[in-house]
Chain A
């Protein structure tokens, strides 16, 4: 029943002729070239958004566990704001609404906007995980750190965070895999990533099944690679005898 046509990826994007070797020459591009560039966009958006999310999410998560009421309030407000608005809506707000209110933002490339949008959305989720990680530690840990003469930042740096981060590696792994999949919203603001590639190319070539299978495979491969990397990190940093650290 199914007649595959994988040659579709060797076609030139302009005249639809099959190019020998599958890679376009002298400025012409084939669908395979386009697929790889789309994969690159997906990975770039995801990687940069993950950096933004880890930095801001950690900061906000830590603030929410400090003794200062105002800092806790700031962290809570941040988390609830970005967690309670759908991702696609946030992307549209950054792309269409915010530049209308602040005209200079119109010149910011949509790539930066989507990295920030996706990063901020994910930072709310990471903030929640960091907070949970820190609060799962026995209260005595913080007191012991302070009693040793550490300042509060030193207590976080040397006592609380090293344990909290080890505990939350599994949910952080899920979050990193999610960000690959969530990066598909970038198609809505014209980033030429995998989802846009699939929507556009299945229409141009009429070979939807092959195109979607290839794109699915790349998403799976990317997310799974992160999963394996996280597992490697988890094993490397494991401290026997600590929570989540060992024995099993």
Chain B
């Protein structure tokens, strides 16, 4: 309730006390007043957002945010906009967005109904497909063949929930083995402790590309789930969302988005010049064709 009162007070303050600045509220006002913006980034989220070391960050979503912020910079006709980078984790990204530490989060956050209660999302820029990676010589081609086998996934991700739903639906049982991070989960697959690794397609593709013998592994089987991944914004800040959405929609419209995607997912990327090699999926292209911020739950209904 205190927060509500604060928002009401803030709105009335900005609308009545300072009519001249009425068009710049929330994050836009904060950016203009401070001359800086803080971008939340991930240390290791495949091609979407990752560190190059030395406090530098790159990736598909990082570049999209940089371009969107350049448009915001122009819109606010500011002399200089200083972009600060703040690494976040899947545990702290939502609290840090809520308390104002980060203004825009450019990582690999799934837009779902539960999170929409706490934060807001820009239009979906990437649709993730949860897939299965196995050893190429294992002969496994679908989830049904995983009956009684060890299946690896990474602690603190939602992939295993999809797996459980399929487990019940398909009448198969398997042992969940949790790696502490993606590299660890991949090691479980590589060392034979798990027969399959279930995770977001781009993370599987990235780990396979980085492995010693990429030809020993392949991604197989049905798509277990689709998850819209989007840039995260503060809740109840329509002006900033409108500015970011407009910038992203323009990139989708002009085909610039596809070029940026190609740069991060099809071409060799730093720091060690590997190729992820994952073409934009049909679902991702559909999201670009009709920009929207629907949560994951709406995808499941289709």
Contact = CB atoms under 8 A, between A and B. Distances in A.
Interface of A: 1, 13-15, 96, 99-100, 106, 187-188, 190, 192, 196, 199-200, 202-206, 208
Interface stretch (B25-33, B64-72, B153-161): B153-161
17 contacts: A1-B3, A15-B165, A96-B187, A96-B191, A100-B191, A187-B155, A190-B177, A192-B176, A192-B178, A196-B178, A199-B91, A200-B156, A200-B178, A203-B90, A203-B158, A206-B94, A206-B118
Contacts of A199: 91, 155-156
Given A199-B91, A200-B178, 18 more contacts: A13-B164, A14-B168, A99-B191, A100-B191, A106-B192, A187-B155, A188-B184, A190-B177, A190-B178, A190-B188, A192-B178, A200-B155, A202-B91, A203-B90, A203-B157, A203-B158, A204-B161, A206-B118
Contact of B115 (A96, A100, A204, A206): A206
Contacts of B165: 14-15
Given A1-B2, A14-B165, A187 B91 contact: no
Contacts of B158: 203-204
List the 7 shortest-distance A-B pairs measured between CB atoms, nearest first.
A206-B114, A199-B156, A190-B178, A190-B177, A203-B156, A188-B180, A199-B155
Greatest chain A CB density within 10 A among B115, B155, B165, B192 is at: B155
A196 B161 contact: no
B155 A196 contact: yes
Nearest to B152: A190
A3 B255 CA distance: 43
Contact of A208 (B91, B168, B191): B91
A116 to B, nearest CB: 17
A100 B193 CA distance: 11
B178 A187 contact: yes
Contacts, number: 50
Nearest to B118: A206
B179 interface: yes
Nearest to A12: B164
Contacts of A192: 176, 178
Contacts of B192: 106
A1 B7 CA distance: 13
Query: Interface majority SS on A: helix, strand, loop or mixed?
Result: helix
A200 B185 CA distance: 14
A15 B177 CA distance: 21
Contacts of A1: 2-3
Nearest to B157: A203
Nearest to A201: B156
A199 B156 CA distance: 5
Contacts of B164: 13-14
Interface string B185-201: 00110011100000000
Greatest chain A CB density within 10 A among B168, B176, B179, B193 is at: B193
A55 to B, nearest CB: 29
A100 B191 CA distance: 8
A199 B180 CA distance: 10
Interface in B253-298: none
A195 to B, nearest CB: 9
Contacts of A200: 155-156, 160, 178
A4 to B, nearest CB: 14
A100 B192 CA distance: 11
A13 B179 CA distance: 19
Nearest to B169: A14
Nearest to B95: A208
Nearest to A99: B191
Contacts of A204: 158, 161
A206 to B, nearest CB: 4
Contacts of A99: 191
Contacts of A106: 192-193
Interface in B162-180: 164-165, 168, 176-180
Contacts of B178: 187, 190, 192, 196, 200
Nearest to B188: A190
A196 B157 CA distance: 11
B90 to A, nearest CB: 6
Nearest to A95: B193
A14 B161 contact: yes
Contacts of A100: 191
A135 B118 CA distance: 60
Interface string B114-154: 11001000000000000000000000000000000000000
A206 B119 CA distance: 12
Greatest chain B CB density within 10 A among A106, A188, A200, A205 is at: A200
A193 to B, nearest CB: 11
Interface string B1-14: 01100000000000
A109 B227 CA distance: 34
